[in-house]
């Protein structure tokens, strides 16, 4: 299934590039190649500029957060605090120090015994002391160091005002919906992922946070496209190597492929906004470090990403049975 004929590729604001129209004789393939080149070039340019930190494109309004940093808690801390969010109808938590010093409030006298625990751990470098000089020298060994803190929900405090930020509406983008609808052997898509977005190979399903948890429509589709590109690696599709554990080289390569593929799909839908590309560059940079510091490895990932994007768009004329391994 080729891309819808009435879709167009619009340049980014301020870009002098022409608007690309689908090539009816080639099923849009020439358009894809041109857009792929532009997107790949722009993403690599973002990689070469600065060190903008990656920003998660969603934040569930009622997910437990630190009241000072406003960052979401993750992992076991997310689980520990979620019940208290529902209990107190407030998503914000703070330590005693934060309540009294940072927020200029106080803990209610009858709530001192009703705190919750959050954990924090890091790797600590071991040292040994020279008996003769008393100097500490590193041993080269590291051990995990676990700490915990007591926190209180802001509803248990006095003198601190808080509000839950209302999320902006995530409106449909027609061109992006066409990309999703055109994926004719797509996995099941569910918005039951809570605070995580993922593709599950065993069930061949994509799991997303709620739509209104995203900062905007573009961020929503960028995340959805990332997971859909992951799904093209399934054995019934392009059969990529998806066996690597997290932070392994195989996992890093797959993440590069998925993020580049998402950028390519956004490009075919006419979305090439600098903030999105900056965030993609920052995300890619974090995974490049697991492979090599050379950003040229993105161009290698782009090859797989192009095949994945083509698969989603229905441009599969070069794919023959049995399914060929992606290069």
Cα–Cα dist 16/19, whole Å: 9
Shared domain for 205 and 240, answered yes or no, is: yes
3-state secondary structure 170-218: CCCCHHHHHHHHCCCCCCEEECCCCCCCEEECCCCEEECCCHHHECCHH
Residue 102 lies in a domain: yes
Neighbours of 326 (CB within 10 A): 20
pLDDT in tens, 190-229: 998 777 899 999 999 999 988 878 888 999 999 999 999 9
Adjacent-strand bridge partners of 58: 214
Residue 321 lies in a domain: no
What's the average model confidence in pLDDT over 89-95?
94
Shared domain for 305 and 186, answered yes or no, is: yes
Residue 325 lies in a domain: no
Shared domain for 101 and 154, answered yes or no, is: yes
Q: pLDDT category, 247, cuts 50, 70, 90?
A: confident
Q: Is the pLDDT at 86 greater than 70, yes or no?
A: yes
Q: What are phi and psi of 295, to 5 degrees?
A: -65, -10
Shared domain for 194 and 255, answered yes or no, is: yes
Residue 153 lies in a domain: yes
Neighbours of 25 (CB within 10 A): 8
Four-residue CA torsion sign, 255, 260, 263, 264? negative
Q: Which domain holds residue 124?
A: 65-158
Shared domain for 260 and 303, answered yes or no, is: yes
What's the average model confidence in pLDDT over 287-297?
74
Q: Determine the pLDDT at residue 12.
A: 35
Shared domain for 214 and 292, answered yes or no, is: yes
Shared domain for 244 and 261, answered yes or no, is: yes
Q: Is the pLDDT at 321 greater than 50, yes or no?
A: no
Shared domain for 205 and 296, answered yes or no, is: yes
pLDDT in tens, 132-160: 777 888 888 877 777 888 999 999 999 99
Count of structural domains within the chain? 2
Cα–Cα dist 156/109, whole Å: 9
Q: pLDDT category, 281, cuts 50, 70, 90?
A: confident
End-of-domain residue from the set 158, 191, 211: 158
Shared domain for 177 and 231, answered yes or no, is: yes
End-of-domain residue from the set 112, 137, 158: 158
Q: What is the average pLDDT value for the chain, to the nearest integer?
A: 81
Shared domain for 175 and 288, answered yes or no, is: yes
Shared domain for 187 and 306, answered yes or no, is: yes
End-of-domain residue from the set 158, 182, 207: 158
Q: Determine the pLDDT at residue 54.
A: 78
């Amino acid at each position: 299934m080729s891309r819808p004929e009435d879709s167009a590729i619009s340049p980014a604001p301020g870009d002098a590039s022409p608007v690309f129209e689908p090539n009816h004789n080639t099923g849009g393939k020439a358009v894809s190649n041109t857009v792929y080149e532009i997107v790949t070039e722009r993403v690599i340019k973002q990689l070469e500029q600065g060190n903008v930190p990656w920003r998660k494109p969603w934040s569930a309004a009622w997910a437990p957060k630190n009241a000072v940093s406003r960052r979401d808690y993750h992992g076991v801390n997310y689980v520990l605090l979620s019940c208290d969010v529902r209990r107190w109808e407030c998503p914000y938590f703070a330590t005693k120090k934060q309540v009294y010093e940072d927020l200029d409030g106080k803990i209610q006298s009858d709530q001192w015994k009703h705190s919750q625990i959050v954990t924090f751990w890091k790797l600590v470098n071991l040292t040994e002391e020279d008996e003769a000089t008393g100097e500490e020298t590193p041993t080269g060994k590291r051990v995990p160091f676990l700490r915990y803190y007591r926190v209180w929900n802001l509803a248990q405090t006095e003198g601190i005002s808080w509000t839950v930020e209302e999320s902006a509406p995530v409106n449909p983008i027609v061109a992006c919906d066409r990309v999703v609808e055109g994926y004719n052997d797509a996995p099941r898509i569910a918005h039951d992922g809570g605070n995580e977005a993922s593709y599950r190979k065993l069930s061949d399903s994509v799991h997303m946070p709620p739509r209104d948890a995203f900062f905007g429509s573009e961020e929503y589709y960028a995340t959805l496209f990332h997971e859909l590109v992951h799904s093209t690696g399934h054995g019934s599709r392009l059969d990529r190597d998806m066996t690597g554990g997290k932070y392994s080289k195989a996992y890093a390569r797959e993440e590069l492929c998925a993020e580049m593929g998402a950028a390519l799909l956004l490009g075919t839908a006419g979305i090439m906004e600098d903030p999105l590309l900056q965030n993609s560059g920052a995300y890619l940079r974090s995974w490049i470090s697991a492979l090599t510091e050379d950003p040229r490895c993105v161009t290698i990932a782009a090859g797989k990403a192009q095949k994945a994007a083509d698969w989603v768009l229905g441009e599969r004329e070069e794919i023959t049975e049995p399914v060929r391994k992606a290069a």
